[in-house]
Structure 1
């Protein structure tokens, strides 16, 4: 394998013909020959390099996810700094980062072949300084607290939108890492990469509520509202962003063959599987990220009586929202691991069926005013969504590998379909993340009734009473989610498990090992 670094230049034993692009002015750590499916090459050289790049990719993506979802915690603490927004307005602050991050995923994926995985990881990690510094400087400022309601809302929406850069990191990281690993280890590697990033959600939701009350007396924290240091929520990430950027610059590599170019996207977009898998990913990753953003707000406004009696949970642990994100993150590599053994389609189908059933239990929990039942149901939903994230992403390279075998066994055909698979990872990652935005729109739409009723109340006491009387506001959205999971379960069965000529161009289970 030839590795070129300018400067310095490093060489390793070649594994095959060089694939160096024309011209020799590239700067950075570029690997020109990479053949991970060659067992001898993988064991002697490839595994060590792949693991190193995976480790730094995970760390950078982890910080990206932390900044991406941080507004779920900030939104429920704005009242503590004198900024009062309605529930529907607060959902805009959690929805916008989700929306921006979703749209950034396509250009972020294109950036890997254009600039190299190493260089783009440096850039994407450095962009995280923007939301972190805005959160540290603008949001907690006395200036913003003195502005009109409309000005406050628009400034907060702008600051929240910049956090979307953390969501774009996922697609570039996943597409880049997919080239480093052989087919038989791809599911586990992508699962670990994604799980490390997803863990950033849980870390942010656990750490930020604790950081913002550092130095505040414990007795004062129990009051509502109480003093918080929102600037700390941004400042805490600055040193980690520096480490992520420098680590990528000093230790990561770029692969010459990692070319998910426009032609690959055009070809992939013509494949029905690109859009089928994108819809399925809406149900899995969209659920994970959407609930991660929204759950603190949902819990706060659905079970106010529970939080009033459990001030430690309400104040220090953001309504226990971090637990769901933690479970989902850990479950992701498990989903990839199971898919490598029993097939991704089977795992995905089981996840959607389970998510539908436990959404029904969550509805029962809301109607019965049982926080334990509601929260327990959502913990299982997070578990299944996380496992489904791993299984759906494992299905993509398996499907396109099978399609490539249909076309031929030559190296050029295999590489072409591998590039298409990387393109679909970017497409599905972007569309799937939009699922999180849809979830928050559904919650926001469901909250409009209670928002209007609270505004119509005359006194603060009456507003509290009206909100408590409408605490089941989220049920309508939950029924929508349940129906969506049933549809996606049927799609998984019809396209990837049902043995019928009707499936036509869709690879069978045996052929694609999906």
Structure 2
């Protein structure tokens, strides 16, 4: 490698556009000398941006708890569920273009934009949520704009995956996503704080608190993040990944894990109000705990997958989610509020663990295919460059499809409560899906012994692939 190409990552920060001229995290000497420090700095600001994005995205799960006749809103439970469905849907649809934007504009530049644009839906929410008798369609439009916060996840994960070597991606991606997912819990804690201190008639305080945070996060990304060198082939990676069968298998699994996390996170407060008649204060007192624990669990799901294999951890996790949903159904039928809250909280934790383990399956799957290509005579550097490119694209696809699972969960709740006043039919549907994911994981990723690497256990040659 030429001396010119060996320009240090730290020195590259002085270059035009803050684009690093060289980046190879699989080169252990480079990684230990400076790569890991640059990666950690970018990871920190990526987490902050994604965290605020998740908060804005899930803000309507909190704001709807305030919408009562006391402040001039007489929306039905069905209309409130619609208000949390819309941002979920828009956020899911934006994840693919957000993921592709990293290759086109650079991780740093796109993070700055994706953070700053959150000022629009947040500012509008702060203004209109306090105006009595505002029609539903206005809130639906603002909620749709809040969906941009959901797109942050895909661009952030795609960017961070490229910063870290495969041996650390499970932990790094889990930490990045977990820190972002915490935004769901934090905005709900903020809602609880507002209700507990000034009452349930000041929802604008929740939105207004995020305006200065968005400015600070945007400035931090602009000043401290870097763009990675991106090969031209990166721009066609999404199209290539779309034709890959494992893209869709893993995406279906991610519907069960992340779809559950974000769907339950958006709906939990409304479910407590619809199922047990909880007041805004009672609902807000419980809704933050599940997302908080689920977010903290995500990095450990990645860590467990690094050690035992993504598919093995995912398989056990879906078995536990199916059991937890059965308990939730029992709690609903018996009208046991403590058991209901406890079972829901456990499901949040399991969804967080499953998020981390499922995402670990992505780089492991493509690394396995690179191994097969090399064994057939392919160039090692090209094979693993393709694996990294497709892994980044699959992260975007899985993130988008998984978020659509959150839409499905909220629509299932909306339908169940509108039809019977109970969420039992929705819980049965979720149970069936978890069982289907359990079977899919076993059949596609665990049944054959030679699928160990696909499960997330990388053989020695994969770990040194960047130096071949």
The residue aligned with 1:14 is 7
CA separation in 2, counterparts of 1:259 and 1:382?
A: 39
Partner of 1:8: none
Q: Distance in 1 between matches of 2:52 and 2:8?
A: 35
Partner residue in 1 for 2:400: 430
Equivalent pairs counted in the alignment come to 448
Which runs of 4 or more aligned residues in structure 1 lie more than 4 Å from their structure 2 counterparts after TM superposition? none
What's the offset of the Cα at 1:449?
Answer: 2.2
Residue 343 of structure 1 corresponds to 309
Q: What is the CA deviation profile of residues 160-207 of structure 1, one whole-angstrom value per residue up to 9, with x for unaligned ones?
A: 111101000000000000010011001100000000000000001111
Query: Which of 143, 163, 185 is the matching residue for 1:160?
Result: 143
Name the counterpart of 2:456.
Answer: 513
Q: Distance in 2 between matches of 1:53 and 1:2?
A: 26
Instruction: Give the secondary structure class of the aligned counterpart of 2:22.
Output: coil
- Contact 2:41-2:225 within 8 A present in 1 as well: yes
C-alpha displacement of 1:417:
1.7
Check the 8 A contact 1:2/1:14 in 2, yes or no: no
Deviation at 1:510, TM superposition (A): 4.0
Q: From the superposition, tell whether residues 332 and 2 of structure 1 become closer, same or farther in structure 2 (CA, over 3 Å).
A: farther
Alignment counterpart, residue 96 of structure 1, candidates 80, 86, 91? 86
User: Is the counterpart of residue 440 in structure 1 residue 410 in structure 2?
Assistant: yes
Q: 2-side partners of 1:197 and 1:329: how far apart?
A: 8
Change (3 A) 1:287 1:2: farther
* Contact 1:2–1:33 (8 Å) recurs in 2: no
Over the residues paired in the alignment, what is the CA RMSD in angstroms?
A: 2.2
Q: Residue 169 of structure 1 aligns with which residue?
A: 152
Aligned residue number for residue 184 of structure 2:
201
Return the match for 2:238 from 240, 265, 274: 265
- In the alignment, structure 1 residue 299 sits paired with structure 2 residue 272: yes
> 2:269 and 2:418 mapped to 1: Cα distance?
18
Q: What TM-score do you get using the length of structure 2 for normalisation? A: 0.92
- Say whether 1:105 aligns with 2:95: yes
Rg comparison, structure with higher value: 1
Alignment correspondent of 2:441: 492
Greater relative contact order (Cα 8 A, min sep 6): structure 1 or 2?
2
Partner Cα distance (2:267, 2:220) in 1: 32
Counterpart of 1:400 in structure 2 is 366
The equivalent of 1:52 in structure 2 is 41
1:361 to 286, 309, 327: 327
- Aligned 8 A contact 1:402 1:512 in 2: no
What residue in structure 2 maps to residue 30 of structure 1? 19
Supply the distance in 1 between the matched residues of 2:406 and 2:429 (Cα, whole angstroms): 14
Which position in structure 2 is the counterpart of 1:61? 50
What is the aligned partner in structure 2 of residue 83 from structure 1? 73
Structure with more of its chain in helix, by fraction:
2
Q: Deviations over 1:404-456 (max 9, x none)?
A: 12112521221112101110000000000000000001001112225xxxxxx
Q: What residue in structure 2 maps to residue 464 of structure 1? A: none
Asked if 2 retains the 8 angstrom alpha-carbon contact of 1:400 and 1:421, the reply is yes
Give the CA deviation at 1:12. 9.6
Q: Cα distance, 1:29 vs. partner?
A: 0.7
Residues 1:363 and 1:259: Cα distance change in structure 2 (over 3 Å):
farther
Secondary structure of 1:140's partner? coil
Correspondent of 1:481 among 430, 435, 445: 430
Whole-angstrom distance in 2 between the partners of 1:361 and 1:316: 22
Q: Does 1:127 align with 2:76?
A: no
In the TM superposition, residue 257 of structure 1 has moved relative to its aligned partner by 2.8
Q: Contact conserved, 1:91 with 1:440, CA < 8 A, in 2?
A: yes
Aligned to 1:279: 252
Q: What corresponds to 2:298 in structure 1?
A: 332
